[in-house]
Amino acid sequence: MTSPSNSKAPSRALGFVFLPFLAAGLFFLVMVIREVAASAATYTWPAFRCRVVASEVRELADPQFPWQAYLRYSWDSGESERSSRSLASYSEALRAARRWPAGSSATCYADPRDPSGALLERKSLALALFVPLPLVFVLVGAVGLYSVVLRRQPGAGRAPRAVNPAAGHRIAAVLLIMGGAVGVAVFVLLPMHRVLAARGWRARECRILRSGVQPHEGEGDESGTSWSAAVLYAYTVDGVEHRSDTYGFLTVPGTRSSVARAAERYPRGTAATCYVNPANPDDAVLHRGPPLACLIGLAPFGLLLAAGVAVWRRARRRSLVGERLEPGATE
């Protein structure tokens, strides 16, 4: 006869498949928390007045991230230069530069660890919204590992410990719902809001300055690279020339051949129609239709929401059944 512990060996060994979920979740959770903590620390820095000396968009030699916002600002006791991280989008770099025009006054924040260093803007805490995503992986890995590998089986003559599975299910449901809600908001609702708002934007003639494809390292074609259309165009509003490279409100990188066909619709030097935000002439788009990426993003994050609701309802039913079966339970 084989002992009960031996009969459990295969299932316990199988339980180690939860280790990658736990490890990956913990890794990304620690990275996110570190970034959020570093961003939160800037809100304790003292504020003072400074003057912006230079503000411009600079082009880099990197084909993947060719744009950068450059800012130089000074105050009574010093001067500082700051460049944004290398950006894939000209429009994104322009938005960063236009926030602090040259010659304007601004509020700076001094780094207490470096008296010569200062920031024009405190770091964003928006990354904290993504904490539920790695928590889902941590929960799946931890619960699976504990249930299959680490949980002790009751021995002879010893009653098993009472557990409350409904509580664990509720935690899992909350994390699933939060992760799905954040994903739907970022990848579906925000782009669709922009699409609806752009229906009232003004159509203007623009001139195509550049048209090509832009590489993105990662999963893609045989070379391990994905691509997106890179179209830079110029247009005039109230006698002032503006530039943008926003193709659509949410684009997903694809193969080189597929995005090349999109870029070929706008040959260099030709005229095209772009749509300009009347409230912000720097905000323009070539294609204002609903992005396919919204539907692609709705599927996985919608499933997370549905799974969270289903787990919550199941936990609630189990809790109600347990209250009815418990001796002496009261309403």
DSSP per residue, 176-242: HHHHHHHHHIIIIIHHHHHHHHGGGSEEEEEEEEEEEEEEEESS-STTSEEEEEEEEEEEEETTEEE
Reported as a pLDDT band with limits 50, 70 and 90, residue 330 is very low
Asked whether residue 300 is assigned to any structural domain, the reply reads no
Kindly give the pairing relationship between strand 225-237 and strand 240-244: antiparallel
Asked whether residue 262 is assigned to any structural domain, the reply reads yes
> Of residues 132 and 36, which shows the higher confidence score?
36
User: Is position 257 within any domain?
Assistant: yes
Q: Does residue 38 lie within any of the structural domains?
A: no
What size, in residues, is the chain?
A: 331
User: What is the distance between the alpha carbons of residues 100 and 120, in angstroms, rounded to a whole number?
Assistant: 9
Domain that holds residue 77: 46-121
Does a structural domain hold residue 174? no
Q: Give a yes or no: residue 33 inside a domain.
A: no
Which of 82, 104, 121 marks a domain boundary? Answer: 121
Q: Would residue 82 count as lying in a domain?
A: yes
Q: Which residues share a beta bridge with 212?
A: 230
Task: Identify the burial level of 82 via C-beta atoms within 10 angstroms of its C-beta, where 0-12 means exposed, 13-18 middle and 19 or more buried.
Answer: middle
Give the rounded percent of residues in the chain with a pLDDT score beyond 70. 79
Q: What is the CA radius of gyration of the chain?
A: 27
Please choose, from the candidates 59, 53, 126, 117, the residue with its C-alpha nearest in 3D space to the C-alpha of residue 93.
59
End-to-end CA distance of the chain: 49
In whole angstroms, give the CA distance from residue 227 to residue 215: 5
End of a domain among 287, 302, 317? Answer: 287
Q: Which residue has the higher pLDDT, 6 or 268?
A: 268
Residue that wins the pLDDT comparison between 217 and 197: 197
Give pLDDT, residue 8: 47
Domain count, the chain: 2
Percent of the chain with pLDDT over 90: 28
Average pLDDT rounded to a whole number, residues 203-230: 79
In order of 260, 281, 286, the CA distances from 98 in angstroms are 31, 12, 21
> 213 near 268, Cβ under 8 Å?
no
pLDDT of residue 1: 46
| pLDDT value of residue 138 | 87
| Residue 21: closest CA among 132, 129, 135 | 135
Could you say which of 69, 86, 121 is where a domain stops? 121
Predicted confidence (pLDDT) per residue in 3-56, tens digit: 444 544 445 666 677 788 888 889 999 999 999 999 999 999 999 899 999 999
Split at pLDDT 50, 70, 90, the class of 327 is: low
Hey, what amino acid is at 55?
S
pLDDT of residue 54: 92
Identify the residue with better confidence: 218 or 290: 290
Residues facing residue 107 across a β-bridge: 49
Lookup: tokens for 155: 């021995």
Helices vs strands, H then E, count in the chain: 9, 10
Mean pLDDT of 287-297: 68
* Mean of per-residue pLDDT scores for the chain: 80
Assigned domain for 265 exists: yes
